[in-house]
Amino acid sequence: MTDRVVLAYSGGLDTSVAIGWIAEATGSEVVAMACDVGQGGEDLDVVRQRALDCGAVEAYVADARDEFAADYCMPALKTNALYMDRYPNVSAISRPVIVKHLVKAARQFGATTVAHGCTGKGNDQVRFEVGITSLAPDMKCIAPVRDLALTRDKAIDYAERNNLPIVTTKENPFSIDQNVWGRAVETGFLEDIWNEPTKDVYDYTDDPTFPPVADEVTITFQRGVPVKLDGQEVTPLQAIEEMNRRAGRQGIGRIDIVEDRLVGIKSREVYEAPGAMALIAAHQELENVTVEREQARFKRTVEQRWTELVYDGQWFSPLKKSLDTFIDDTQKYVSGEIRMVLHGGRATVTGRRSESSLYDFNLATYDTGDAFDQTSARGFIDIYGLSSKLAAARDEKFGNGPQL
């Protein structure tokens, strides 16, 4: 029986070309596995047929949309995951679910080798290979694009020479990765970081310069997860899709960033994540109302480490699993409603309410009815500042006091 290799297939240039490269280099049959994570655009039946037309002996499509939204996007939302404080890990959170289905397909089709189309410069090679070895230590992994050091120009030439049915051409050189959580665009003229993105770079968002009338939305959360929009029950997938539509119309979620890649180089990336950015803004504000101060402070440290781990391809790592437990515990009381206005590229919170709120109007008000005992403040300040006071007195004693 001929050996088989299961390839993570996106339908784009690199993975389409990789089918022929793998067959030529290894003599193995190639099974293409495409994963639907809500990327929209092309019909996946068309993608499946393209894989067959490019030489795959089998083409398998996994519908992972609801799974991706519930089990990968929602943990990222509960974490407020923003790499470098700006990027909502659009590609990073999709790789583990693709890896899961890649390994599942390999078992199903009797393959002991899996493959991906990543380059040697990117983060995804790490995410795929570390994820694969975490789930299936017995499997081998190959990366023909990286290991043959084939440039994008050479890949396009190969595709044209072999009449492969792909969209990317030398006139349209963007590399695009998208899913329901967002869209990532790189390469082409964007590699000159002085160049401004042109209108054709964007697809999920309209130009925020000329927005439609403001859109008000009320998002209901239950334990950190959106469960209703304007009173209508939604699944995680429906919540993201609807917020993509509404926030995208307002131009919300455009991100142009020079990003620190795992491999040590800086890369210019343009992202669109309208639903993700609006939902994160709403979730953060509800946490401000419901999460205790010290817990919230420590959670910000956990958020950064969680986000870095996921960005670096460590979704299945022991530390990430442990951090998941902490984050889930912080969401115990993150339930309630956030009212938000979407307009002109901004998602602005205008109202919050929660049965589990820690905000006490009677303590917060400065008007009549103030329940805060202000006489307690003096003793609190004396104790709170005592250690600094003692240190300052010592400094004065040894001549190291402040120069006034």
Structure confidence by residue, pLDDT tens digits, 116-149: 988 888 899 999 999 999 999 999 999 988 887 6
Last residue within a domain, chosen from 143, 178, 213: 178
* Structure confidence at residue 255 (pLDDT): 98
Assigned domain for 129 exists: yes
Residue 259 in marked binding region: yes
**pLDDT score of 171:** 57
Catalytic residue selected from 124, 177, 206, 312: 124
Q: Would you say residue 197 lies in a domain?
A: no
Same domain, 43 and 102: yes
Dist CA 317 CA 293 (whole Å): 28
124 in active site: yes
The total of other beta-carbon atoms located within 10 Å of residue 199's CB is 7
**Is 189 among the domain residues?**
no
Pick from 97, 80, 84: nearest CA to 331: 80
Cα separations in angstroms, 69 against 65, 75, 147, 241, 307: 6, 9, 33, 10, 17
- Do the beta carbons of residue 34 and residue 60 sit within 8 Å? yes
Q: Identify whether 120 is part of a domain.
A: yes
- Kindly provide the b/e burial profile for residues 133-164, where b requires at least 16 CB atoms within 10 angstroms of the residue's own CB: ebebeebebbbbbbeeebebeebbebbeeeeb
Query: Is 117 part of any known ligand binding site?
Result: yes
Give me the torsion for CA of 380, 383, 389, 394, rounded to 10°: 180
Residue 175 assigned as binding residue: yes
pLDDT at 272: 98
| Best mean pLDDT range from 74-78, 107-111, 372-376, 393-397 | 74-78
Classify residue 312: in a domain, yes or no: yes
Contacts from 356-362 at CB under 8 Å and sequence distance 24+? 356/290, 357/289, 357/290, 358/289, 358/290, 358/291, 358/292, 359/289
Confirm whether 369 is domain-assigned. Answer: no
pLDDT at site 153: 79
Domain boundary among 317, 334, 353: 353
Distance between CA atoms of residues 93 and 127, nearest Å: 9
**In a shared domain, residues 150 and 17:** yes
| Residue 174 sits in the same domain as residue 313 | no
Active-site hit among 48, 50, 95, 246 = 95
Is the domain of 22 the same as that of 83?
Answer: yes
Residues 45 and 83 reside in one and the same domain = yes
Q: What is the dihedral of CA 111, 116, 120, 121, to 10 degrees?
A: -150
**Side-chain half-sphere CA neighbours of 8 within 13 A:** 31
Query: In total, how many domains does the chain have?
Result: 2
In a domain, 114, yes or no: yes
Q: What percent of the chain has pLDDT over 90?
A: 76
Residue 119 annotated as binding site? yes
Q: Which of 127, 143, 178 is the last residue of a domain?
A: 178
- The residues facing 256 across adjacent strands are 270
Q: What is the pLDDT of residue 361?
A: 81
Q: Which one, of 174, 127, 129, 135, lies nearest residue 152 by Cα?
A: 174
Statement to judge: residues 171 and 24 lie in one domain: yes
Whether residues 99 and 224 fall in one domain: no
Q: What distance in Å separates the CA atoms of residue 226 and residue 243, rounded to the nearest whole number? A: 11
Residue 3 annotated as lining a ligand binding site: no
14 is catalytic: yes
Sequence-distant (6+) residues with CB within 8 A of 329 are: none
Q: Given 4, 50, 94, 175, which residue is catalytic?
A: 175
Residues 37 and 170 in one domain: yes
Residue 138 sits in a domain whose CATH number is: 3.40.50.620
Whole-prediction pTM value?
Answer: 0.92
240 and 98, same structural domain? Answer: no
Q: Would you state the pLDDT for residue 106?
A: 95
Query: Are both 158 and 212 inside the same structural domain?
Result: no
Same domain, 145 and 242: no
Flag whether 150 is marked binding. Answer: no
DSSP 20-64: HHHHHHH--EEEEEEEESS--SS-HHHHHHHHHHTT-SEEEEEE-
Question: Taking Cα atoms as reference points, which of 114, 111, 67, 118 lies closest to residue 93?
Answer: 67
> What whole-number distance in Å separates Cα of residue 80 and Cα of residue 65?
20
* 150 pLDDT higher than 70: no
User: Domain of 161?
Assistant: 4-178
- Indicate which CATH number applies to the domain containing 331: 3.90.1260.10
Which residue do the tokens 């990532």 mark? 184
**Range from 128-137, 181-190, 369-378 carrying the lowest mean pLDDT:** 369-378
| Residue whose structure tokens are 């029950």 | 233
Query: Known binder of ligand: residue 386?
Result: no
Query: Is there a single domain that holds both residue 23 and residue 152?
Result: yes
Vertex 120 angle, CA 260 and 52, to 5°: 120
In a domain, 27, yes or no: yes
